[in-house]
Structure 1
Amino acid sequence: MVTTPIVVAPEIDFTGVRAEFGLVDEFPDEALAEARTATDRFASERDDRTDLPVVTIDPPGSMDLDQALHLERTDTGFVLHYAIADVYAVVEPGGALDLETHRRAQTFYLPDGSVPLHPRVLSENAASLLPGAVRPAVLWRIEMDEYAEPVAISVSRARVRSVARLDYAGVQRDADAGTLHPSIAALPEFGRLREVAARARGAIELRLPEQDVVEDGDGWRLDIEPRTEADDWNSHVSLLTGMCAARIMIDAKTGLLRTLPPADPDAVASLRRTACSLGVEWPGGMSVGAFLAGLDANLPTTLVLMSEAPTLLRGASYVAFDGELPELTVHGAIGAAYAHVTAPLRRLSDRYATEVCLAVSSGTELPGDVRDTLGLLPKIMSSSDSLAGKVGRACIDLAEAVVLSSRVGETFDATVLKDATERRDAEIFIPSETVIAQCTGTPAEGQRVTVRLVLADPASRRVQFACEP
């Protein structure tokens, strides 16, 4: 689940951010050598499912393709085949590459590119589910009823071959025109049913649009890229699979879950005040999940609310268990038990949670290295997630400072989102620039004010406004 705004800025240099947080694209020679010579350790055990016309749906230009799907509408519901890159099969346990991926824990995404979890020769080539290439995969088969609720789940190792690489905007255009690829013709109906189910569970879904930083004459501007229904439909495929994985592991009393306590009432009240400040109606009896789900994802006010909403998700953690269930098994924002299993090229934990599901599904013993690693993963992933959050915040701060650097001294209309306190300045939203920033003075929460930009310094990544009298 994405919890920070997505910013794309290929023309801005984020080298300083990489250096500050120790993010290095290059891999140790031994790890890189292992990636270049990686082979499928389970090749002889795989089912041949290259007959299955799976397709990938990712942002344009993506090469680290973890997932490929085929969704069929049946007389009684749906059947989903979801192929996930089999990373455990090509990374030797205890090897140099294994150790390096444990150090990195995840791919870090910056506005000008990524710092990968695995060498690109593996993550963007040999292990990626690229179209036309036969690849080792973990294949989920999820049979559903007419409401798209799962009734039967299986997972096994297979060889697959993607027949097409699609992107969200293209899928949305095809859906609107009634010309979807046959492998995903049922995706809109499935996605809408899963959306209904999510609301019924009280799920809190953060639908953050992408912001592009583009040159504009002698300066810069932030453009909001439209978020499509196709983004959400595809997200529900991954969410459903993660919920099924959690069910398997809970039944086996062994695994790794992603958990989150219920939203704090104070955080909900704060978000409600922000909505009021922005003039966005939130009916008194409507849950926070239903409110967020009903927002137009492409409005600037929605970007603000979705950017503030992660305060509802405080307390997210990973929990490993083996023989006894943890006290908390539910992810509060999803409204169900959930596990990460669908992005092993980009996130370390998925590799191990997937192996648990495979062992349980096949009735075989869990590999010793997997069992030994489960208990280490919560600390590894929590530390990595914390770093990713800091990197994301630094990148947004730099992008905003660059975009506004030529406009120091100008005035802007703004809405006060939060009052000033003893520890921080007031927080404002400037709709014309789609920027949330700090502002000196004592403007009241919810007030419409005129502010002057007094500082926009890319070197320090600081932006500061002052409230005009």
Structure 2
Amino acid sequence: MPSRQFALDTAAPDEFYVALARLRDELEIESDFPPAALAEAEAAVDVPLSGADATDVPFVTVDPPGSRDLDQALHIERDGEGYLVRYAIASLGTFVEPGGALDREVHERGVTVYGPTGSIPLHPPVLSAGIASLLPGEDRPACLWHLRLDGAGELRDVRVERAVVRSRAQLTYEQVQAAADGGRPLPAGTPADLPALLRTVGELRQDLERQRGGVSLDIPEQHVERNRHGYALSYRATLPVEGWNAQISLLTGIAAAGLMREAGVGILRTLPDADPRDVRRLRRAGAALGVDWPDGTSYAELLRTLDSAVPAHAAFLNEATALFRGAGYLALGVEEADEDADDDGTITRHAAIASEYAHVTAPLRRLVDRYGLEICLAHCAGEEVPDWVLAALPGLPATMARSTRRAGAYERGAVDALEALVLQGRVGETFAGVIVESDDGGKDGGRERGTVVLSSPAVEGRVEGADLPVGTSVQVRLVDVDVPERRVRFELA
């Protein structure tokens, strides 16, 4: 599911770091790698490169400033009336020995865990920020996707192969957006037509997404910064180029799912339709934030009208991540019944993407992507899927469910700590908001408990009162804030 993105723009008090340390302990998140896993990662420096030579293709990476774990490199060119998208994905299968100490540790971690003070990587930095990362000017092994599109952006042909690539530049979203808007050109040696082609292909794919009923959630980055009153929330609006770039990743994931269907083996990323209760909760949050949601307008239609440069819209988009609950993985080719999954009610599609879809574009940060890539590589080469991949498939959905739950719990706990930091020192103040839900089970001591979303600052917290008017604008008084315990509590004023 999409994640809320947040950053701490200033030094935080010690109690905030205490909160994160406690959270890591509670969730048993280890930052250090075992010596045996580190030794295998360091020995992988000497692994020889293999695959087709694609170092003549002028790939570039497009990421946030300062990124070192570069999973993807991109090149787009005209192809008759259509387009050829080449997408190079870091090849972790080159470096990780199946069944080894590093592989076991990566299975234990599952995903990179992100927080406001940095990330806890899936792989040791010697791999994730070093020899496996598609850093500029370096020859790197990659899983190279060749995606041919027609003039409308529809996928017409796909293949993936092992290759050696060399990125020409590490670009930021801001750089590419400025070039696409006619501003400063890209650095020398990078394709001058990349911004225009990325815009064209990205917008074509966005149109196709709308036509098939899909929706992308452009989640703005939430910042906590210090001011003279304490700490405040702000948002960094997403740029159009981030949406265009995301469409290339989605295109590749859709293509990968198609290859897995052809091969009869694979692992799909699935998502059920949004729970009506979550939609109703989001509608209430929209009321608290002043977001107009006309009757008869679906949440997908509404999301397309929002502008993350507007603070209320940005806060609403963060709340909208709740619509993506229930995401999971489905292994294909490991059970007799899975060929009839559609018929027996098993979910095979990703509701937000409105298509079957597979994770293959972020192997530095997600374990499952390495397996998806190896399946697609074998199928395109006309080879059998490796035994180590087949052996792992039945357990991968549970492994990823466990690891993504843990990462999600860390993210939610970190947000709770940030919101407590923002409200610190304001106990006794009254705020406007909307009760978005009340707990099931009736009253406790004559008082209901629920959740309130404030209008400003755009945070949520626990609320108590004799009768909680769900969906109604209310005034609430802040009665308790505890940063180390990640707690914010209100009562009806």
Q: TM-score range by the shorter chain?
A: over 0.9
After superposition, where does 1:135-174 map in structure 2 within 5 Å? 135-174=140-179
Deviation at 1:419, TM superposition (A): 5.4
2:117 partner letter: D
* Structure 1 match to 2:407: 388
SS of 2:44's equivalent in the other structure is: coil
Task: Provide the C-alpha distance between the structure 2 equivalents of 1:40 and 1:255, rounded to a whole number of angstroms.
Answer: 30
* Structure 2 match to 1:456: 481
Deviation at 1:58, TM superposition (A): 1.2
* Structure 2 match to 1:432: 456
Deviation at 1:436, TM superposition (A): 1.9
Structure 1's 24 and 273: CA in aligned 2 closer, same or farther, altered over 3 A?
Answer: closer
Task: Provide the C-alpha distance between the structure 1 equivalents of 2:311 and 2:462, rounded to a whole number of angstroms.
Answer: 18
After superposition, where does 1:80-95 map in structure 2 within 5 Å? 80-95=85-100
Q: State whether residues 134 and 166 of structure 2, in contact with CA within 8 Å, keep that contact through their aligned partners in structure 1.
A: yes
Structure 1's 398 and 273: CA in aligned 2 closer, same or farther, altered over 3 A?
Answer: closer
Structure 1's 42 and 367: CA in aligned 2 closer, same or farther, altered over 3 A?
Answer: farther
* Structure 2 match to 1:356: 375
1:334 partner letter: I
Counterpart of 1:242 (choices 230, 243, 253) is 253
**Once the two structures are superposed, what CA deviation does each residue of 1:92-121 show, in whole Å capped at 9, x if it has no partner?**
111111111011111100110011110001
Deviation at 1:29, TM superposition (A): 0.8
**Once the two structures are superposed, what CA deviation does each residue of 1:330-357 show, in whole Å capped at 9, x if it has no partner?**
1111100000000000000000010000
SS of 1:205's equivalent in the other structure is: coil
Q: State whether residues 9 and 212 of structure 1, in contact with CA within 8 Å, keep that contact through their aligned partners in structure 2.
A: yes
Task: Provide the C-alpha distance between the structure 1 equivalents of 2:180 and 2:438, rounded to a whole number of angstroms.
Answer: 44
* Structure 1 match to 2:355: 336
SS of 1:271's equivalent in the other structure is: helix
Between 332-341 and 281-290, the greater mean CA deviation after superposition: 281-290
Q: State whether residues 290 and 455 of structure 2, in contact with CA within 8 Å, keep that contact through their aligned partners in structure 1.
A: no
Q: Which blocks of at least 5 consecutive residues in structure 1 are unaligned?
A: none
Count of residues paired in the alignment:
467
2:39 partner letter: A
Counterpart of 1:402 (choices 421, 427, 430) is 421
Deviation at 1:218, TM superposition (A): 6.0
1:437 partner letter: G
Task: Provide the C-alpha distance between the structure 2 equivalents of 1:266 and 1:114, rounded to a whole number of angstroms.
Answer: 32
Q: State whether residues 3 and 206 of structure 1, in contact with CA within 8 Å, keep that contact through their aligned partners in structure 2.
A: no
After superposition, where does 1:170-181 map in structure 2 within 5 Å? 170-179=175-184, 181=186
SS of 2:208's equivalent in the other structure is: helix
**Once the two structures are superposed, what CA deviation does each residue of 1:411-467 show, in whole Å capped at 9, x if it has no partner?**
333344345763763433323322122222345344433332221111211011223
Between 252-261 and 304-313, the greater mean CA deviation after superposition: 304-313
* Structure 2 match to 1:466: 491
Task: Provide the C-alpha distance between the structure 1 equivalents of 2:374 and 2:421, rounded to a whole number of angstroms.
Answer: 44
Structure 1's 87 and 262: CA in aligned 2 closer, same or farther, altered over 3 A?
Answer: same
* Structure 2 match to 1:32: 38
Q: Does 1:53 align with 2:58?
A: yes
SS of 1:428's equivalent in the other structure is: strand
Give TM-score, length-normalised by structure 2. Answer: 0.89
SS of 1:137's equivalent in the other structure is: strand
2:58 partner letter: P
Task: Provide the C-alpha distance between the structure 2 equivalents of 1:127 and 1:321, rounded to a whole number of angstroms.
Answer: 28
Task: Provide the C-alpha distance between the structure 2 equivalents of 1:415 and 1:170, rounded to a whole number of angstroms.
Answer: 40
SS of 2:424's equivalent in the other structure is: helix
Task: Provide the C-alpha distance between the structure 2 equivalents of 1:146 and 1:447, rounded to a whole number of angstroms.
Answer: 49
**Once the two structures are superposed, what CA deviation does each residue of 1:7-37 show, in whole Å capped at 9, x if it has no partner?**
4466342222222222222111111011111
Deviation at 1:276, TM superposition (A): 4.5
Q: Does 1:322 align with 2:333?
A: yes
Task: Provide the C-alpha distance between the structure 2 equivalents of 1:2 and 1:124, rounded to a whole number of angstroms.
Answer: 23
Task: Provide the C-alpha distance between the structure 1 equivalents of 2:453 and 2:110, rounded to a whole number of angstroms.
Answer: 34
Task: Provide the C-alpha distance between the structure 2 equivalents of 1:268 and 1:420, rounded to a whole number of angstroms.
Answer: 17
Between 455-464 and 204-213, the greater mean CA deviation after superposition: 204-213
* Structure 1 match to 2:189: none
Task: Provide the C-alpha distance between the structure 2 equivalents of 1:277 and 1:405, rounded to a whole number of angstroms.
Answer: 21
Task: Provide the C-alpha distance between the structure 2 equivalents of 1:410 and 1:278, rounded to a whole number of angstroms.
Answer: 19
Between 398-407 and 283-292, the greater mean CA deviation after superposition: 283-292
Q: State whether residues 270 and 327 of structure 2, in contact with CA within 8 Å, keep that contact through their aligned partners in structure 1.
A: yes
Q: State whether residues 76 and 145 of structure 1, in contact with CA within 8 Å, keep that contact through their aligned partners in structure 2.
A: yes
Task: Provide the C-alpha distance between the structure 1 equivalents of 2:8 and 2:330, rounded to a whole number of angstroms.
Answer: 32
Q: Alpha carbon RMSD of aligned pairs, Å? A: 2.2
Q: Does 1:212 align with 2:212?
A: no
Q: Does 1:64 align with 2:69?
A: yes
Task: Provide the C-alpha distance between the structure 2 equivalents of 1:322 and 1:69, rounded to a whole number of angstroms.
Answer: 31
1:435 partner letter: V
Give TM-score, length-normalised by structure 1. Answer: 0.93
After superposition, where does 1:69-108 map in structure 2 within 5 Å? 69-108=74-113
Task: Provide the C-alpha distance between the structure 2 equivalents of 1:302 and 1:40, rounded to a whole number of angstroms.
Answer: 49
Q: Which blocks of at least 5 consecutive residues in structure 2 are unaligned?
A: 187-191
Task: State percent identity of aligned pairs.
Answer: 44
* Structure 2 match to 1:122: 127
* Structure 2 match to 1:347: 366
Counterpart of 1:411 (choices 415, 426, 430) is 430
